[in-house]
Chains A and B, each alone.
Chain A
Amino acid sequence: MTPEPVRAPAALVRLASWLLPKEDRDLLLGDLEEVYVSRAIRGRPVWAALTFMFETAHAAIGRRRRRRFEPDSFQRRPLMFAPLETLSQDLRIGVRGLLKRPGFTLAALLTLALGIGANAAVFSVVNGVLLAPLPYRDADRLMIIWSKWRNFDKTWVSDAEILDYKTRMQAFQDVGAWGSRQVNLTGDGDPIRVGAALITPNLLSVLGAEPAIGRGFTDAEALPDTPTVVILSHGLWQQRFGARTDILGQTINVDGVARHIAGVMPAGFQLPTDYVEEAEEPTRLWLPLRLDPSTRSSHSYYAAGRLKPGVTPGAANAELLSLTQTLTAEGKYPQAMQFSAFALTATDEAFGGVRNPILLLMGAVGCLMLIACANVANLLLVRADSRAREMAVRAALGARRSRLIRQMLTESAALAVGAVILGIGLAWMALQLLLSVDLTPIPRSSGIALDGRVLLFSLALTGLTLILFSLPPAVRASRVDLNESIKEGSLSTTAGGRRQRMRGMLVAAETALAVALLSGALLMIQSLWNLQRIDLGLNPEGVLTMRLAVPPAKYDTPEKVIGFYDQLLDRVRELPGVQAAGFVRLLPLASTIGDWGLAVEGYQPPPGTGAPGDWQVVTDGALTALGERLTKGRDISAFDAADGQQVALINEAMAKKYWAGREAIGGRFRQGGPNRPVVTVVGIVGDVKHNGITGAVKPKFYRPHSQFHRSSGNAVRNMALAVRTGEDPAWLTGAIRAEVRRMDADVPIAAIQTMEDIVASSIATPRLTGWLLSLFAGLALLLAAIGIYSVLSYVVSQRRREIGIRVAMGASTAQVVGLIWRGGLLLTVAGAAAGMVIAGLSTRAMTSLLHGVTPLDPAAFVAAPVLLMIVASLAALIPAIRATQVDPVRALRAD
């Protein structure tokens, strides 16, 4: 088979074929594509795309110009086309004027394109993530219900609570629930481990979603001892069953149990928790769940309620609060537990975490666009001045003012059209870059693309900015004083004071915006710096991780489960390059760890509270592999057998809390009921960040995998392997996979990633936000510097004569430099001061994104204006120095 031929991206080709003249579009495209391919296969796709666009633009302009001078275009058109004729005349004059000043045109074009490109790129993120509808009917009436009590801000709900909310609340039409887990699919093809959820039969109707094929669950199917059924996600159906339509009633092997397929959900369907909580491994198949009314204290499910029409989320929350107070009054919860519940709308649940950063970025690019507009308006003002005489002549010859304005607007519009094409090209490249980063923490990042809505947004934005940047200069320029302009009859139709002031204000305004952006960026950078210096309590370097699960049907006793993992561990340690290896129940920062109520000897919990500890289960070697620190006592060892002394490690937080002032080593606690064995603490481990990089570390204990079933009844079947290696992790993956297959081909491997990737993705959102904000601030700084430079350059050219006189009168070089430089600095100082005010008012919106920095952090607020002043001074210095080169004799003789 021949390899897939390299082709130019379809979007580029479409854009190019739109630009190129019809007559020889096909031939030109063929040649351009050929060049693209020859560059792309040399491994430089971005360069190839860039030159493709430039070549296309050049060819398009050249070809069209050539056509224009062919005889048939000179035929006279009927009079009724007069307005069009004017337009095309304006356009021709405009484009010719733009081409005649390539420096001005390029600067304006690039400035606008940068602004439009940044906006289009960020808006496509907004569009793909925040604006696309959730896959639920009337999603605004769907609420996700969470429990809350002392020390727990947002956690799962229990069976009895769900039933209470369903039967005792007025606000909700219905309440459904689900709980996530991992299952093994075996049978046809490789065994795979997929995210799955148990769902109550009413959940789909609560969510407002229906299977695309087949049906949902019936209440009877949730009862025990009924025929077992399953619903598949669209993706799983395509991947595992090749999208076959005769799928209903077929069986699929889930955790060793054959289940009949009842339905397939439509493409794009996800549970509300798949956007954030379960984003790493979204659920892909669903099993029926039956709630147990007698279970109240074990909180293990997510719940969603559908509001009755007309009920507000606020009312639902008020009712939830009063119901939970009633439940406490009924004695179902201890007073001191402070049990309550709250509900978030599905949208808040899915996007609450990223809405702020995304809106922040949108605000930042909005600022950037304003700065770009100010710069271009400035350029146009300068240009309008240099054309004052032309305008005066045209007015004298009878051109009406509206005609002059239209002429200038047409020129600006031509500029804007060029900028929007270039800007969308830039946005396309920016998105390619952005999407090459791992965006798992951003829900629905797969929906980010340059679609019609983004193009429409860019066009609207361009229209708006066109008015912003071009109307004021056009109106100004058209207000010509015939007498003055023509009478002077010289080159020095100098700008009036008012116009000069307007330019100064524009520069001050963009400086202000740049300072505000810069302050925000500096805050984010500081925050990132703080995040990266947090002690995680482990060493992620060179650690490979993956998840495994043994099917319950085959591994039905704790001995079989433990035996499998022990044997696998021995084999993995034999592999070359492996320095340490071990299994843990949950990897830090990759998953959320929950707690277990303990009875700690010698610790009397305050009334209404217990002694909870996050429960980790480990084999020997796991701590070494993860680089966790044993601060006292001994590690779990291979000799901690099921029937030996029951042991545990605890973290420092647990030692501090439950053994305050006592020796923790040798301390004892009981996990599970009174008939469960007593556990002795043999070691203390340094605190490890588990549920997030910034949260506080809660008490946590580590039990040996070989003993854990003595306290809980069951061995843990789903474990994560951590391997510390000096070798290439990719090589090790294959070798470990082979060992697993050799032991049991039905055990799947999932979520293969390095610990470094896990740590990186836990701060991916702030890192991405920080980087982008810094990029935008950098661009803003650059644009502001260009603005200052261009205004001062113009001032110098206008004041040549004055400077010449000053030099002739004996002004020193330093005095001339100072004269010009001071003007620039004044603008900057005024702008920077205003910028600090803007920043002070707006950085408060960033509070939730910052770690270890306050929104009014003095360092950022000093550094931002100082940085800007330095850049601005440099930008002002160039024209100031040029002013000293004015030759007084020539300057004076010029008139």
Chain B
Amino acid sequence: MSAYLGEFEQLVLLALMRLGPGAGTPAVRDAIEAGSRRKIWMGAVFTTLERLEEKGLVRSALIEPAAGGRRRKTYALEPAGAAALSEAYTTWARMTRGLKPKLENPG
């Protein structure tokens, strides 16, 4: 069983999976904002990515800047990260089985 994932961590990992390797923090943020319809802080994404990297779920690469630019960090999903997402998804799928009508029409 992989590490437990918080909701936001799941969103970040899903964004990375969608974007593929080489995505930077702003791209991840945009993807989450688009999908979750929420306003997301850059700092939150940055910190979460860092934490996920410490857990070994994502890896990062430093991109040396073009002239006059700044160094950038890009991220990619590690196999462990993909596995953790898959685990979370399976749990979610099991727990929601048969609940579809209620989930789509709450109340």
Contacts and interface: CB of A to CB of B under 8 A. Distances in A.
Contacts of B46: 24, 27-28, 31, 59, 63
Interface-central residue, B26, B43, B68, by most chain A CB under 10 Å:
B43
A62 B47 contact: yes
B26 A66 contact: no
Given A62-B47, A66-B47, A35 B72 contact: no
The 6 A-B residue pairs with the shortest CB-CB distance, nearest first, are A59-B43, A30-B70, A62-B43, A31-B25, A58-B43, A58-B41
Nearest to B65: A30
A59 B73 CA distance: 16
A621 to B, nearest CB: 56
A620 interface: no
Interface residues of B, number: 18
A33 interface: yes
26 contacts: A24-B46, A24-B50, A26-B70, A27-B71, A27-B72, A27-B73, A29-B70, A30-B70, A31-B25, A31-B42, A31-B46, A31-B72, A32-B42, A33-B70, A35-B26, A35-B29, A35-B42, A55-B43, A58-B42, A58-B43, A59-B46, A62-B43, A62-B47, A63-B43, A63-B46, A63-B47
A60 B42 CA distance: 11
Contact of B44 (A32, A38, A62): A62
Given A38-B26, A58-B42, 4 more contacts: A30-B73, A31-B46, A55-B41, A55-B42
Contacts of A62: 41, 43-44, 47
Interface of B: 24-26, 29, 41-44, 46-47, 50, 65, 68-73
B9 to A, nearest CB: 15
Contacts of A55: 41-43
A26 B25 contact: no
Interface in A730-745: none
Nearest to A34: B26
B49 to A, nearest CB: 10
Nearest to B60: A27
Contacts of A30: 65, 69-73
Interface-central residue, A5, A32, A38, by most chain B CB under 10 Å:
A32
Give chain A's interface residue range (CB within 8 Å of chain B). Answer: 20 to 34
Nearest to B51: A66
B52 to A, nearest CB: 14
Contact of B41 (A27, A59, A66): A59
Interface of A: 5, 24, 26-35, 38, 55, 58-63, 66
Nearest to B43: A59
B24 A34 contact: yes
A66 B26 CA distance: 20
Contacts of A63: 43, 46-47
Nearest to A65: B47
A796 to B, nearest CB: 33
Contacts of B47: 62-63, 66
Nearest to A51: B42
A876 B61 CA distance: 58
Nearest to B41: A58
A26 B62 CA distance: 11
Contacts of A27: 46, 70-73
A35 B30 CA distance: 10
B24 A31 contact: yes
A844 to B, nearest CB: 51
A744 B26 CA distance: 58
Contacts of A34: 24, 26, 72
A331 to B, nearest CB: 76
A24 B41 CA distance: 16
A30 B42 CA distance: 12
A31 B68 CA distance: 15
A339 B26 CA distance: 74
B42 A59 contact: yes
B1 to A, nearest CB: 26
A31 B41 CA distance: 12
Nearest to A52: B42
A27 B70 CA distance: 7
A38 B25 CA distance: 13
A178 B47 CA distance: 67
A28 B42 CA distance: 9
A58 B40 CA distance: 11
Contacts of A60: 43
Nearest to B70: A30
A58 to B, nearest CB: 5
A63 B50 CA distance: 11
Contact of B71 (A26, A38, A61, A66): A26
